Amino acid sequence: MKRSIIDRNSFDKYDTIIEPFGGSFGFIRYLYQVLDIKDKKFIVYDSDKDLIDFYNHLKKINISNFIDRYNDILSDIENLNGSFILDKNGRKMILKKVAFKYIDKNIRDKYMKYVLMTNICTSSFCNFTYKRNMIFIDLIKKITFIHKPFLEINFNKYNRSKTYIFLDPPYLDNDNSFYKDKEVESLLDKIYNVMRKFSSVFIHVKNDTIDKMFKVFLVDSYAKLYPLNQKRVIHNVFMSH
């Protein structure tokens, strides 16, 4: 995301920041880590119950110890005998089925098993990104995590003048399978209505239908390079208020 898109907004008047499509809450992390905005109420919604349960579990435990254990397990997997290749940096990548077999057999903590199985493999091989220096441990403790699909969220309970909403849904062009066909229109309608009522930002890949629907809002754009396919994609950023 272009820094200028965010910097032009003043957050002094808001006391609540919401990410309804939570994922890894990148917007809130940006505010917290880069802009040093730490005195707000942060709320993250997501339709993935396992993900929200995992975040809420982290709030209850010593996260540093959890990360240390995570790294130890990754080291164990990295040293397994089995099919592997070396990435372009010479690092070992273990065959996914070998890694998952080890995890399933040896890891009893369901939350550790969840983060391992969702975090280390993007293809048939697993690489290992160590999280020992995770810098938003304290932020996790401050966020309210709620399991709820976007279409079921009641935004009317939030103060319109004091709430800022960041809308970054799975892109319809790239991930239509995420939605049922009948939900797409409802999703866009609700995003539109949320932007009419609240100070908010909506990000989406360039799409003629969406561009036309949201042209009433201030719009900016940026190009994002996707490393996996080296494709540069134009994203539009719609801003209200």
**One domain for residues 157 and 224:** yes
pLDDT(83) > 90:
no
**One domain for residues 118 and 152:** no
**One domain for residues 74 and 36:** no
CATH number at residue 180: 3.40.50.150
Residue 220, beta-bridge partner list: 237
Q: Which domain holds residue 95?
A: 63-126
Question: What would the DSSP string read from start to end of 8-72?
Answer: TS--TT-SEEEESS-TT-HHHHHHHHTS---SSEEEEEES-HHHHHHHHHHHHS-HHHHHHHHHH
pLDDT for res 227: 57
DSSP state of 130: -
Examine residue 57 and state whether it is found in any structural domain, yes or no: no
Examine residue 105 and state whether it is found in any structural domain, yes or no: yes
Question: What would the DSSP string read from start to end of 220-240?
Answer: EEEEEEETTTTEEEEEEEEE-
Examine residue 70 and state whether it is found in any structural domain, yes or no: yes
Examine residue 58 and state whether it is found in any structural domain, yes or no: no
**One domain for residues 27 and 94:** no
Reported as a single tens digit per residue, the pLDDT across 160-192 is 999 999 999 987 765 555 555 567 888 999 999
Examine residue 133 and state whether it is found in any structural domain, yes or no: no
Reported as a single tens digit per residue, the pLDDT across 57-78 is 999 999 889 989 998 998 888 8
Tokens, residue 30: 């940006």
Examine residue 7 and state whether it is found in any structural domain, yes or no: no
Examine residue 138 and state whether it is found in any structural domain, yes or no: no
The set of residues, in sequence order, having a beta carbon less than 8 Å from that of 92 and lying 6+ positions away, is: 78, 84, 85, 86, 128
113 confidence band (pLDDT: 50, 70, 90): very high
**One domain for residues 179 and 223:** yes
**One domain for residues 157 and 191:** yes
Q: Which amino acid, one-letter code, is at 77? A: I
**One domain for residues 153 and 215:** yes
Examine residue 136 and state whether it is found in any structural domain, yes or no: no
**One domain for residues 231 and 174:** yes
**One domain for residues 166 and 227:** yes
Domain boundary residue, one of 94, 126, 158: 126
82 confidence band (pLDDT: 50, 70, 90): low
Mean pLDDT of the chain, nearest integer:
85
**One domain for residues 198 and 87:** no
Domain boundary residue, one of 93, 126, 159: 126
**One domain for residues 153 and 200:** yes
Counting residues of the chain whose pLDDT is more than 90, the rounded percentage is: 46
Number of domains in the chain: 2
8 confidence band (pLDDT: 50, 70, 90): very low
223/232 Cα distance (integer angstroms): 6
**One domain for residues 161 and 234:** yes
Q: Select from 197, 208, 195, 194 the least CA-distant residue to 236.
A: 208
